[in-house]
Structure 1
């Protein structure tokens, strides 16, 4: 009964409410920023190279990008994309692209706001949606509700799902026993993640900043090899993507299982633009102007969906293997790679899933750390954090043995709750991000390295970091 209720809530959220919020909100931001996600892509790349001032706890723009990308880039880039294609068809890929392209503008707005309203702490800056909700809208209750949804999403929903997705890639091996193997794999993963978590936030930053670029580049290269080996399928693949994406008769006859719904669900799960997660990492970056970090987060969305999700999609679709419900998830990707590389193909996906899941788990829990600080009003005690991280590890263990459908629905619903709060908030506050964008571009056009002052955007709210 609980599973059915959660499924019904998920279908309502993504069948009506979130599609309106995400599409209309993203389109609004795209036009108001004059397509900032394309116009200033060069500045976005340059911003990742900015070096922070020397000092303990200082986080570079690149490190903040890697933490947010670590959370975005995960098992959803493999299993989520495969699931969307198997259940929603090739047209799902087109709607993933749409949600990423317009979502880039949403990511810019929310991360710029996180920078504007961030706070100064003894170990560097910090902030996120909870902080700009309270500072600008003076609504701590709403900020607390958002924080609870974030903990449910990143501390429970996403981490249980990542754990399940990881163990599911071992199901094709002869040693896998359905009744026992998920729990054994979950236990091993939980112990490794728990050990890393006990090293604190700075260790998370160091680990993710090294692992994310390496695994991302390698994964894309292998995908390109598969596509080149099956280049003859490419024209047919493109034809099917656009034909199925605009087959409105099929879409509206069964919308809950359509390519639009699966494309938006899995696209949002993957890139998280507008959800309110990445701003928690963005606020920690030490930059001279909030817009610089907003631009960096556009890159994170594009890396996740337009690069990595597309790599998975084309690797699968060019294999010549027809997607079916039975192949949904890791099996479709493994079958595609086995067709190209033989027995070594599934092994590569298993290794990729281990790396993707590991960095996702670390990035997710970094967000939870930030929100716990907000809820408690101070940095939690060492004893509190040890207990919390043990609980987080137990959740990872439990997720490995649960039902896939239930886990997907839980993750979708909790993430949807965050989005339903965050998107209207950033629409209301977007005028301040837009003023910051004008200030940034004015300084760039005059040949200066942009430096931010609150008075330049006439911000009516009190902030304690800038000026």
Structure 2
């Protein structure tokens, strides 16, 4: 057991730890991890290749969110695919992760978080469009299925449907490992928040969470219906609450933005050797939160019933904007509108709940606990939607393997609610790290297909078709 834990920690350090450090003026350094080294250049490459798609086609992304689905009633619409991917993107990272980034990197980390989102949007477009181009009919659930495992298979074994690709198998296994690890983190965070807010023992919260999840995930097509209702409500409530706090503290807003930009480029940070911390905390948090390049969201994008593959790509690019520019910024504003002395010495959920208590009294603590429940619950439901296509790729089309994986995830959800096992949390990070490596290695050479699809789509739009 110790050998396994040591191995997981070593892989985690390789993926997420500093691979090397770039010296900066003032004696500081910017630590570069393997995943940052992969994702940032890839995002920049796709941003230039798509001719700054996140900015240039933003109005088109907004238009697509209200477009009706195609004729296949058993498939999900592009908007529903966006809702599913938003359910998994918008989670604990938008709350605790942003708090951690600001705590470690200061207000300037928020700016670099925004930049990473703009870069990541182009990557999200490429991988989602590829998922659409290589999707397959889903004989179990109806509609379509796909994702990185399927386009990786098409890259390494074109025209061969029977023999599986080793890289595609490794991606699918990494995804299933990651999502099991995340299941434990989800329940542990929820039970901790409810214990702080309502003094409810973790066992009661855990049992209720697992029972409610089981009712939904063990039914054939309840997932999409639940997320259709849940995601707009939770994201809307959090956004409106933040707008209320911004309006309430409008006089402080100019100073907050001055602080963000000053600390993002500030001479003080460079001279003090802290610029690398500001930069890397913002970039890492943005990349981890929006998941662009990890290969998760394409599992939802492939299921969308859209009239052109590029539409699914544009919707997922918009999802990155929604996650990081909107929802993560909400948490940042809550934090930065709170006097520093109020949250001195605190971290994680305690820090965020204390900040909300400053703004809204005891209701603020309760509000954050309920929002975390909704964010986390929707993430769990969403990752089990992602798991469908990966389980099918590994084990074929049968209800037994689908049900067994759901039961395993529910067990992990139960265990996590009662105790925190750090190595399992690291396992989740290792899983998403390996997914990213396998995914990036393939979407770079396959990007020509997605770029051709974008060119075709823009040509059709210009001709009114």
TM-score (norm 1): 0.88
Cα deviation, 1:196-251, whole Å, max 9, x if unaligned, reads 11112x21001101111111111111111122222333233223323333334556
Residue 414 (structure 1) aligned with residue 439 (structure 2): no
Moved more, 120-129 or 314-323: 314-323
| Shift of residue 91, structure 1, vs aligned partner | 2.2
Candidates 31, 34, 52, aligned match of 1:35: 52
Structure 2 residue aligned with 1:392: 409
Aligned twin of 1:185: 205
Structure 1 residues 388-397 or 288-297, which shifts more?
A: 388-397
The answer on 1:150 being equivalent to 2:175 is yes
Displacement of 1:182: 3.1
Worse-superposed segment, 161-170 or 4-13: 4-13
Change (3 A) 1:288 1:55: closer
**In the alignment, is the contact (CA less than 8 A) between 1:87 and 1:328 conserved in 2?**
no
CA distance in 1, matches of 2:402, 2:243: 42
Match of 1:220 among 229, 239, 242: 239
1:358 aligns with 377
Decide whether the 8 Å contact of 1:65 with 1:282 is kept in 2.
Answer: yes
| 2:459 alignment partner, one of 429, 433, 442 | 442
- For structure 1, the residue ranges without an aligned partner over 5 or more in a row are 449-467
* Paired residue secondary structure (2:137): strand
**Which runs of no fewer than 5 residues in structure 2 stay unpaired?**
20-30, 158-163
Residue matched to 1:169:
193
Question: 2: CA distance between counterparts of 1:87 and 1:291?
Answer: 38
Q: CA deviation at 1:400?
A: 2.4
Q: Deviations over 1:330-379 (max 9, x none)?
A: 12221121111111111111111111111110001111111001112x32
- Paired residue for 1:8? 13
Q: Measured at CA, do residues 322 and 408 of structure 1 come closer, stay the same or move farther in structure 2, by a change above 3 Å?
A: farther
Q: Secondary structure of the equivalent of 1:333?
A: helix
3-state DSSP class of the match of 2:433? helix
Instruction: State the Cα distance separating 1:7 from its structure 2 match.
Output: 5.4
- The residue number in structure 2 matching 1:70 is 87
Match of 1:379 in 2: 397
For the residue of structure 1 that corresponds to 2:33, the secondary structure is: helix
CA distance in 1, matches of 2:263, 2:104: 13
Evaluate the alpha carbon distance shift between residue 67 and residue 316 of structure 1 in structure 2; reply closer, same or farther with a 3 A threshold.
Answer: same
Task: Tell me, yes or no, if structure 1 residue 283 matches structure 2 residue 302.
Answer: yes
- The 8 Å contact of residues 48 and 296 in structure 1, kept in 2 or not, is answered as yes
Contact 1:231/1:318 (<8 A) preserved: no
What is the aligned counterpart of 2:104 among 71, 75, 87? 87
- With over 3 angstroms needed to count, the CA separation of the structure-2 counterparts of 1:22 and 1:105, relative to structure 1, is same
1:55-454 paired onto structure 2 within 5 Å? 55-122=72-139, 123-138=142-157, 140-154=165-179, 156-173=180-197, 175-176=199-200, 181-200=201-220, 202-246=221-265, 247-248=269-270, 258-322=277-341, 326-376=345-395, 378-381=396-399, 383-403=400-420, 406=423, 409-448=426-465
Shift of 1:392: 1.0
Distance 1:161 1:267 in 2: 19
Separation in 1 of the partners of 2:165 and 2:36?
27
Task: Encode CA deviations 1:67-87: one digit per residue, 9 max, x unaligned.
Answer: 111111112211211122223
CA distance in 2, matches of 1:65, 1:414: 23
Higher deviation after alignment, 41-50 or 6-15: 6-15
2:67 corresponding residue in structure 1 = 50
Give the secondary structure class of the aligned counterpart of 1:338: helix
**CA distance in 2 between partners of 1:416 and 1:93 (Å):** 23
RMSD (Å), alpha carbons: 2.3
Within 2, Cα distance between the matches of 1:349 and 1:305?
A: 18
Contact 2:391 2:401 in 1 (8 A): no
Which one is further off, 203-212 or 226-235?
Answer: 226-235
Is residue 86–residue 323 contact of structure 1 (8 Å, CA) maintained in 2?
Answer: no
For the residue of structure 2 that corresponds to 1:15, the secondary structure is strand
Q: How many equivalent pairs are there?
A: 437
* Distance in 1, Cα, partners of 2:422 & 2:257: 29
SS across alignment from 1:78: helix
Match of 1:464 in 2: none
Distance, in Å, in 1 between the alignment partners of 2:366 and 2:381 is: 23
Q: CA deviation at 1:130?
A: 0.7
Report the counterpart of residue 27 of structure 2 in structure 1.
Answer: none
Q: Matches of 1:248 and 1:275 in 2, distance apart?
A: 31
